[in-house]
Structure 1
Amino acid sequence: MDLKDIQNLIKFVAKSGASEVKLETEDVKITIRTGSETETTYVQQVPMQAQMPMQQAVPQAPAPAPAATTDAPAAADENSKYITIKSPIIGTFYRKPSPDKPLFVEVGQTIAVGDVLCIIEAMKLFNEIESEVSGKIVKILVDDSSPVEFDQPLFLVDPS
């Protein structure tokens, strides 16, 4: 099982609402747990002589969504004119390429298609997240070095 298959499995589990999934093959054992602030993935190499059948946990009911506040409709109307850039993967969000380098983007900065906005580290791989839209950064929704989930909003961009 290669890294791309593992990343796709993590995305699938995040979308499905399952709280835990275990997958065992001849050479890899993976456990993915969700439902907390961060998602945890364990990958363990299994000795080749151990022959284990593939297992998958039964999805449990998702946790109830928190109650909406009265400010939510006003905020949604205000942000509706902006494009939301979301995380394509689960990992750790970084605003700069290394601690001694400048930030990729800041609020008020104009960006173009293909500009690197941030890095998301997933399983010791640093993935540059590029903009798919042009515009001006209105808001950065995630703190530096914070864990992010699949499809979590990262930036608000004004396309005008």
Structure 2
Amino acid sequence: MDIKEIQNLIKFVAKSGASEVKLEMEDIKITIKTGTEKTETTIVQAAPYANVPPVAAAAPVAGNSVAEIVTAVKADDESKYLVVKSPIIGTFYRKPAPDKPNFVEVGTEVSVGDTVCVIEAMKLFNEIESEVSGKIVKILVDDSSPVEYDQPLFLVDPS
């Protein structure tokens, strides 16, 4: 897991309103705690990287939370892109069926009305169509992940 993925995770947790998120993988443990005044992130690396110092340990700096700082940096980098957002709450899927190919990949050209994913809500699979035209530059959600209403799903370069 690199620093950009960790920053995206912090940003997601801050927007979601969750008070605490713990993520444990083979070689890393991450705990993100949020409150009304601060966001605290603790990252601990396990045995394979025991001699390497932790990637990050962050606390609020000068009144700004880590999530706010990350958001400000990301906003500058991604301001030129259009966003395809989730119109409903549900589970995000990149393909229509497990044995089918993904609707879109990074680099895929999409037009208004093209299906970019499906979101399952209450056992119904809703095809999500692009509201913008351009090239997919980033997929912001992992396959089979829960999504919220108005959550960004894809970044699209309109040029």
TM-score by length of 2: 0.59
For residue 97 of structure 1, give the secondary structure of its aligned residue in structure 2.
Answer: coil
Local SS of the residue matching 1:154: strand
The equivalent of 1:40 in structure 2 is none
Aligned residues: CA RMSD: 2.0
How many residues of Structure 1 are paired with residues of Structure 2 in the alignment? 102
Q: Does 1:128 align with 2:112?
A: no
- The residue that corresponds to 1:94 in the other structure is 93
Distance in 2 between residues matched to 1:121 and 1:109, nearest whole Å: 23
CA drift at 1:72: 2.9
For residues 106 and 77 of structure 2, the distance between their equivalents in structure 1, rounded to whole angstroms, comes to 17
Q: Percent identity?
A: 71
TM-score (norm 1): 0.59
Unaligned 5+ residue runs, structure 2?
1-15, 20-34, 40-64
Unmatched tracts of structure 1, length 5 or more: 1-33, 38-62
Higher RCO structure, 1 or 2 (CA under 8 Å, sep 6+): 1
Which protein has the bigger helix share?
A: 2
Q: How does 1:50-65 map to 2 (within 5 A)?
A: 64=36
CA distance in 2, matches of 1:109, 1:102: 13
Q: Which amino acid aligns with 1:156?
A: L
Residue 157 of structure 1: SS of its match in structure 2? strand
CA distance in 2, matches of 1:150, 1:134: 21
